Amino acid sequence: MACRRCGKVKSERLEFLADNPLYTKRFAYYVGRRCRNSTIKEVAEELHLDWGSVKELDKQYMLAQLAKAGTPAPKAIGIDEISIRKGHTYRIVVSDLLRGRPIWFGGENRSEASMSQFYAWLGEKKSRGIGLAVMDMWKPFRPATEEHAPNAAILFDKFHVMRHLGDALDQVRKSEYAQLTGNDRRFIKGLRSTCQPKIGRPRTKTPR
């Protein structure tokens, strides 16, 4: 439409359009809902769209859902890290254990400073409302939690506790083995497989 001041033709921004002017917000919402139960590739093939367009519409949908949900107020959280590239490049993932869903993903690494970013995002009042924090035995997680969530009881997950117990038992076995000779040494040598705690995660057997 022509501008009344300069006379040039300009396009008017309409609220019902998504960030991509080819699609309405209603259509973006529909695509996002479909992506909750299907892959981006499947939705793209179904709606005859390219993969990149579906990805962008899905991101708009997720951002709208996050804005609607607001900042959560978890009472029990689980803290873990995830590797995002080959090597040692990590990000921290925090989950609401009572609602069974992740609520924060971020940080530059898995340092105490990165862990503190979560509590800064959550806010002082909600951080103090946390009653339980489950984490592995990575040292930087604990001081950040004790400082920002002082009312939270800290619980280490069983997998890491059993791993450290296994390492300790292995050291004792090696020490005893070094002090023995003959049949006694052979006896200690055979105890590793029977005394070592089983800490592996369960695996699903593939039927033959």
Q: What is the pLDDT of residues 67-118, one digit of tens each?
A: 777 788 999 999 988 887 776 788 999 999 998 888 999 988 989 999 999 9
pLDDT at 102: 87
Q: C-alpha angle with apex 61: 94 to 30, nearest 5 degrees?
A: 135
User: Which residues pair with residue 101 across a beta bridge?
Assistant: 96
pLDDT at 136: 85
Q: For residues 135 and 142, what is the distance between their CA atoms, to the nearest angstrom?
A: 8
- Fold type of domain 76-156: Nucleotidyltransferase; domain 5 (3.30.420)
What average pLDDT does range 14-29 have in this prediction? Answer: 67
Q: What is the pLDDT of residues 143-198, one digit of tens each?
A: 999 999 999 999 987 666 666 666 666 777 777 767 776 666 666 665 555 555 55
Q: What is the DSSP letter of 180?
A: -
Phi, psi (deg, nearest 5) at residue 192 = -60, -45
- Does the pLDDT of residue 14 top 60, yes or no? no
For residue 104, give the 3-state DSSP assignment: strand
pLDDT at 12: 52
Cβ neighbours, 10 Å, residue 60: 18
pTM above 0.75, yes or no: no
Give burial (CB, 10 Å; 0-12/13-18/19+) of 144.
buried
Cβ neighbours, 10 Å, residue 58: 19
Between 201 and 74, where is the model more confident?
74
* Number of helical (H) and strand (E) elements in the chain, helices listed first: 9, 5
Q: What is the pLDDT of residues 117-152, one digit of tens each?
A: 999 999 999 999 999 999 988 889 999 999 999 999
| Tokens, residue 143 | 């001081």
- Does the pLDDT of residue 62 top 80, yes or no? yes
- Does the pLDDT of residue 11 top 90, yes or no? no
Of the listed ranges 6-15, 98-107, 197-206, the one predicted with least confidence: 197-206
In 3D space, the residue among 51, 105, 44 whose CA is nearest the CA of residue 79 turns out to be: 105
pLDDT at 28: 84
Residue-by-residue DSSP string for 185-207: HHHHHTTHHHHS---PPP-PPPP
**Domain spans in the chain, listed from the N-terminal domain onward:** 25-69, 76-156, 159-195
Residue-by-residue DSSP string for 54-83: HHHHHHHHHHHHHHHH-S---SEEEEEEEE
**Confidence band for 203, pLDDT divided at 50, 70 and 90:** very low
